Structures are given as structure tokens and as C-alpha cells.
Amino acid sequence: MSLIVQKFGGTSVKDAGRINHVAQIVTDTYKKGNNVVVVVSAQGDTTDDLIAKAAEINSHPSKREMDVLLSAGEQISMSLLAMAIEQLGCPVKSLTGWQAGFETDANHGMARVRTIHKERLENELAKRNIVIVAGFQGLNRYDDITTLGRGGSDTSAVALAAALHADLCQIFTDVDGVYTADPRIVPGARKLAEITYDEMLELASLGAQVLHNRSVEMAKKYNVNMEVVSSLEDKPGTKIKEVTTVEKLLIKGVARDNDVARISVTEVPDEPGYAFRIFSALAAKKINVDIILQSIGRAGTKDISFTVSRDHKEEAVQLLEGMKDTLGCKDVLCEDNISKVSIVGAGIATNPGAAARMFEALADAHVNIQMISTSEIKISVLINREDSDKALRAIHDEFIPG
Amino acid sequence: MSLIVQKFGGTSVKDAGRINHVAQIVTDTYKKGNNVVVVVSAQGDTTDDLIAKAAEINSHPSKREMDVLLSAGEQISMSLLAMAIEQLGCPVKSLTGWQAGFETDANHGMARVRTIHKERLENELAKRNIVIVAGFQGLNRYDDITTLGRGGSDTSAVALAAALHADLCQIFTDVDGVYTADPRIVPGARKLAEITYDEMLELASLGAQVLHNRSVEMAKKYNVNMEVVSSLEDKPGTKIKEVTTVEKLLIKGVARDNDVARISVTEVPDEPGYAFRIFSALAAKKINVDIILQSIGRAGTKDISFTVSRDHKEEAVQLLEGMKDTLGCKDVLCEDNISKVSIVGAGIATNPGAAARMFEALADAHVNIQMISTSEIKISVLINREDSDKALRAIHDEFIPG
């Protein structure tokens, strides 16, 4: 008997029809003799609706009360799914985050799972109940409800799979797997049968939006077998594991991220310590910096540019404007009409020609590169937003066999 | 410093405007130096909406899952109210039923409060936090969420007031107190300044719909000072207590209950044991019987009639149809185009003329009486539904000085 964790997002349970369909998938898995733990998100737009209700009342509600409010969303979807499974004649229990034993830290709105107290879960599974667990939520040690932040249901699923030593953690989505690029932009994009945790991490953080990054980190850490699979069609998805064997592609995907702003601090004195001041100040405000580029010093000054997520751009600019005297710089400039386009693949590190091929493909497509960043398994370039579609296609054509 | 429990129903928190108004009432009470515990119901039609969602998926969902679903309703309203109170600058925490320590029996959908574990509540009050508690819900000893059934928020409020030895338990409603009759039907109806627990119990069970009966029973048992007060206007409500002193009315109110069906079992053998069989079978199915009338035996048979709530009429008829052989009866008839009209008042028992005056008033209004039932503090008659408005007015005019 295998133990399978299945996670369904908000779209997959958005109405009675979709819930009944999910119930069918779950009970089919159960009737094959598997133990099944299901993680659900709130229905469709419930979370947004609840946020709107709160905004009407208080523009800055406490994060504690937001967590109480939002966690009601999964409580609704999980009980409805349980009822649909009852209708199909299988034994089922729905459990809130705290009932399922999710203990988190006290960081409301962005809590991290500390541990899962498994007694209740194991008891229900021992009774051969299908267990539905509310994703995205837990309880801190003050007995207050916490949420894991957006996309947290993926993390809930992987954490459960790790704690219960599940044989498989299936993430059901409206896409049928991980593609080499967004098929809406790149017509030749191919579905991958397998991808490594590291590749998936780079793709996720680069805007591929299939899986939440924290869930993949956790899957890698605890070696959880994951699979991204369609909730609409019954066909193979993409497996995420430590080492892939099926495909020998140099790169696994081309990703685009529009959630990026470039900030430039111009004419900083070309002396030691200035970069440190900038980035330690940003770190103190918990502003994550991605690509960093420093111009070669000229006439005693240099320009320092970096990218942040668009959420943080105003805070970053304000912060640095306030430090102008300390930094002795001329201007703090911000540009957000840009995209980050990246290639991801475990083969990149051992294939020094990859970068050259990428840049050549972009040059042939007349796409200007503003900044470059590389890691073991990815190469990212910053380009004008309006060039990003053709850049994706050009790079994809270069690397992925048609 | 006093401790005041304030309960607000679904209509009182139905939208942002009403929630803000409630926050004002609560913080005004708090700023006078009182400790305040607030009990809220789900917003407006939330409970009905959730029931409709469930019905779309499963026509007979388990009561356990219904409780999980419905309890999300108060979780939403309590957090929104907390946010509104934060906006007014007062410290506040919202607590679900289980966080507030409500332990109930395992009777899903109709659970009874067993005990309230007060630690968390007392800690929050000691920090001078306003505490918002989700009404209507608790946790059984299997750590499953339970609900107290419709109107259960009143019971939650009284149970909290009893456990915390509150000085006052205020039930805020859209009416401004308890009236001698429904003012929409009886123009001369008067608001009562005070009413006894027993009188209130009779009025509530007779369909006055101001307070949930179980809450009044509990208030009587633990001697909780209750007050029914308007959530819309700042004016005195009706106090509910052991002994009233202000008004010396023979009767405190005239009530009507349309939720009643009369069932008649005709031509039952006029021998001992038949009534027992009928009513023990009904009791075994937990069907509550109210008024019972047995005809005088004639030609070796008798008719037995009784009333049940309309919810139970089909079940009762089915049950008795199935017992026809055992009962040796002719027919099982059901009539639900009827109303029960009652007068309530502690003075009735010591005033033998009350019944006669009531019947005379009905006769003068040409209202035919089908059945009669009396207790220490009430007299009820069963009449045709279409006569009930004029019956209410006739009785009210007779007993309540204009």
C-alpha cells in the first residue's frame, strides 16, 4: 500500500463541478488501494474576496487577524471536497491546519512550518480514511492561526509528504506539467517528463509559476518525489526528482520574469565600502536583491545597478534617496519596463558554450542585453519588456530541438 | 471594573458599515473601563450561502463536515470585527470556538457546551484585550469542530458570561427589546423593561424569536443577567432576570407560533396502552410533542391528536402510518394550516380568570379554538392560521393596557 499526497489549487476546486471532479481523482487513487492525503487551497477567488472584505474595513489590519480571516477559505473548500467524497461512498475526514498538526513559527502571513504533529493524521489513515487537509495554514505555539503566504498550499503538501514519508506528492494544476517555455508565447514549447529539484527551483524563481519555490526547496531537502500533473486530463505530468534520466537536454527551460525592477545608483565614489553600505541597508529592510552590476570606475566614480522585485522598488528607492549624503552619489534611478529572461539546465555548468549561444540568439533577434547574471544551472539576462516574447522564442529555438 | 459579554447576530455584522458600528459600541463599552468579550455570528446570509454550497455537492453531507463548513462563517465575521476594532485603536484578539476553550459534546450540528476552558480567555482579558469569540461553535473531545445549531450564538454568549462570571450579558438585535406582542401585527404592543427567565422561556419557545431558548435556560440556571438591546439605537432594552419588579402586568406577552402541525390518529381502541405506544415511538425518534388532546371514548374508540413542529410532521406521519396495525387505528391525519397563540405571564397561575378572559376575547373575535394547553405561566390555543392576526390583537387588547 502506497501513501500518496495530492494537492489541488484554488482553480481546481472553484465550483461544485470541479470539486466533484477532484473527488473522482481522489477516490480513484484511494480505490486502487492507496492511502490518500489531500491538500486543498481556498476556492477560486475566495482569498481575494476575503482580502477585499478586510480592505473595506481596515487598510492595515493586523497580520494575525488576516490569518484568521484567510484560513476560513480552506476550511470551506476542504469540507466541500469531503462532502463530495462522501457522496462517492468513501470514508473521509477534513482537517484544518491545526487539526492536521501543522506547527509553524509566529510569522503571521508568511509562517514557516516547524513540525507536523502526526498523531491525528496517522490515526485517520490507519482507519483507512481519506484525509483532506487545509493547505496554507497552521498554528503557532501561542495557539494562534498562521498562514504560510501565497502558494503555501504547495508547501503544505510537500511538508505532509515529507513528514508521512509519502511515496509520491502530486501537485494538480491547470497545466499538465512543466514546459520548456510558456506555450502561450513559445509555440514549440515541450512538456518535460522529468526535471531536477534545482532546475525546478530556478524555473520557479524565474517566474514559471508552476510551483511555489519553498515547496521545491523542501522537496529537495527531504527528497520527496513530486509530480506536477493536470487536474483536467488524465495523462502523465512532470516528475521532479534529484537526478533526471529520461531526457538529455542541455537546458530544461526558458523562463521569463516580469516582476522585476532595475535600480541604479549613479556616480558613487569609486572607493571601498560603498557597495557594502547600499546592500547592507537593503538587507536590513529585507529587500532581496537579484542581479547586481557595477560599472568600471571612471573619473573617480562608478554606477551600481541591481534588480529587486517590483513590490520592493519604491521602498528601495526611498531608502537609497535617504542615504544620498552617505553614499555621495548623484542619482537613484528606477526602471521597471524590463524583463528577466533565463535559461535553466543542469548541463549549463559543464557546457561553457551555452552562454555564447544564448547571447548570439538574442543578437540575431536584435534584442539588447542590459544586465547578465549566471549561476551553476542558469543564465539570466535583463532586457526591455517589449523584446521579451521574441527573446523567449529565439532562445527556445536555439536550445530546444523542435 | 465590570466584565460585559456582548453578542451580535448575523444582521448586525452583515456588511462593513454594520461591522464598524458594532466596533463603535464595543470600544465605547471598553473605554468606559469595562472588560469586554464579544460573541459574533456569521455575517448576514453567510450560513445560508454555505448550506447552499453544500447542497450543490451532497444532499446528505455528514454533520461533521457541515460543522467544519459552517464554522468558517464566524471565523470570517470575528476577524473582520477585530480589524474594525483595531482601526479604532483598541487592542483586540479574535478567537475561534476552540481557541476560546469551548468544549462540547459530540452531537454535530446540535452540540451542547460541556465546559469552557478559560485560560486563554482570562489571559487575553488580563492583558486588557477586547476578545472576540466565534459564536455557535466549539470542539468535541475528539478535536473535531462542532456547532451548537441555529441560534447557538446566544448560547455561546450566555455560557461565556456564566463561565467568566460576567456582570452582564447583552444580546444585541435588530429589535430594541422584548415586546408584549409582535408590533408588526399588534400596533399597541409595548416594550417590556423587564421579564423573568421563565416568562422569556415561554415566549421564546412560543415563537417570539428574540432569544434562543437554550440561552435563556442557561441564563436561568447560572443566574446570568441578560439584556436584549438594539444594535441600531442607543436606548434601554429589556432586562431578563429571576424576578421582575418594574411592571405589574398580569401577562407579559402574547405570542404566535406558525411552526406547528397537528397530527390526529383516529379511532384508536379505547383501551390502556395505546397513547403510550404512540408517544414512546415518537420519543424514540426524538420528535418533540407539544399539545396533546384525547377525545372522550365513544363506541370503543378514541381520537388522539397532538402537535409537532413542522420539521417533524412528515417523519411523525410516516412513523405512525407504519404502526397502523399495532395501533389498530383508522387514519393518521395531518393539518398544518394552523397557529398556536399564547399568553405568557408569571401572574397566570394565581389568576384563574386569565383563561376565561382569553377565551372570551377569542369568542368575541369569532376565532374558533381547536386545542388548548396550559402551564404555570402560559395558556396556548391552537387556531386556524388565517385567524391568528386578529386573535393576537384581540388577546393583546384584552390583557395589555393601551
**CA dihedral sign of residues A45, A50, A55, A59:** negative
- Lowest average pLDDT, out of A56-65, A130-139, A159-168, A366-375, goes to A366-375
Identity of the residue in A72, A99, A144 whose CB atom sits nearest the CB atom of B72: A72
> What was the pLDDT predicted at A285?
86
Spatial CB neighbours of B291, under 8 Å, sequence gap ≥ 6: B306, B307, B340, B371, B372, B373, B380, B382
> What was the pLDDT predicted at A247?
56
Beta bridge partners of A133: A39, A95
Spatial separation of the C-alpha atoms in residues B300 and B271, rounded to whole Å: 8
Identity of the residue in A54, A75, A93 whose CB atom sits nearest the CB atom of B80: A54
Taking CB atoms and an 8 Å cutoff, what residues of chain B touch A69? 75-76, 79-80, 83
- Mean pLDDT over A367-377 rounds to 85
pLDDT interval class at A100 (50, 70, 90): very high
> What was the pLDDT predicted at A274?
86
- Residue B277 CB-half CA count within 13 A: 18
**CA dihedral sign of residues A183, A189, A195, A201:** negative
Which of B359, B382, B360 lies closest to B206, judged by CA?
A: B382
Spatial CB neighbours of B205, under 8 Å, sequence gap ≥ 6: B213
Asked if residue A182 has pLDDT above 90, the reply is no
pTM: 0.82
Q: Which residues of chain B have pLDDT under 50?
A: none
Q: How many CB atoms lie within 10 A of CB A371?
A: 18
What proportion of chain A, given as a percentage, has pLDDT over 90? Answer: 65
> What was the pLDDT predicted at A73?
97
Q: Are B148 and B138 in contact (CB under 8 A)?
A: yes
Give burial (CB, 10 Å; 0-12/13-18/19+) of A109: middle
Taking CB atoms and an 8 Å cutoff, what residues of chain A touch B68? 75, 78-79, 82, 94, 96
> What was the pLDDT predicted at B246?
59
Smallest CA–CA distance from A84 into chain B, residue = B57
What pLDDT, in 10s, does the model give residues B222-247?
999 999 999 999 899 999 988 876 55
> What was the pLDDT predicted at A271?
82
Reading the block at residue A374, the C-alpha cell is: 549566471
Q: At what angle do helices A63-87 and B46-57 cross, to 10 degrees?
A: 30
Of chain A, the end-to-end C-alpha distance in Å amounts to 40
How confident is the prediction for chain A on average, in pLDDT?
91
Taking CB atoms and an 8 Å cutoff, what residues of chain B touch A50? 76
pLDDT interval class at A210 (50, 70, 90): confident
β-sheet with B378-384: strand ranges across: B253-257, B338-344, B378-384, B371-375
Reading the block at residue A202, the C-alpha cell is: 530556478
Are A53 and B76 within 8 A, CB to CB?
A: yes
Q: Which residue has the higher pLDDT, A86 or A198?
A: A86
What proportion of chain A, given as a percentage, has pLDDT over 70? Answer: 97
Are B57 and A84 within 8 A, CB to CB?
A: yes
Coil, strand, or helix at residue A28? helix
Spatial separation of the C-alpha atoms in residues A39 and B14, rounded to whole Å: 31
Smallest CA–CA distance from A86 into chain B, residue = B61
Q: Which of residues 61-90 of A touch B (CB under 8 A)?
A: 61-62, 64-66, 68-69, 71-73, 75-76, 78-80, 82-84, 86-87
Which of A130, A125, A120 lies closest to A29, judged by CA?
A: A130
Are A87 and B57 within 8 A, CB to CB?
A: yes
> What was the pLDDT predicted at A402?
72
Give A231→chain B minimum CA distance, Å.
Answer: 18
Q: Which residue has the cell 532595475?
A: A262
Spatial CB neighbours of A223, under 8 Å, sequence gap ≥ 6: A242
Asked if residue A145 has pLDDT above 80, the reply is yes
Beta bridge partners of A333: A264
Chain B contact present for A93, CB below 8 A: yes
Which of A202, A95, A234, A65 lies closest to B90, judged by CA?
A: A65
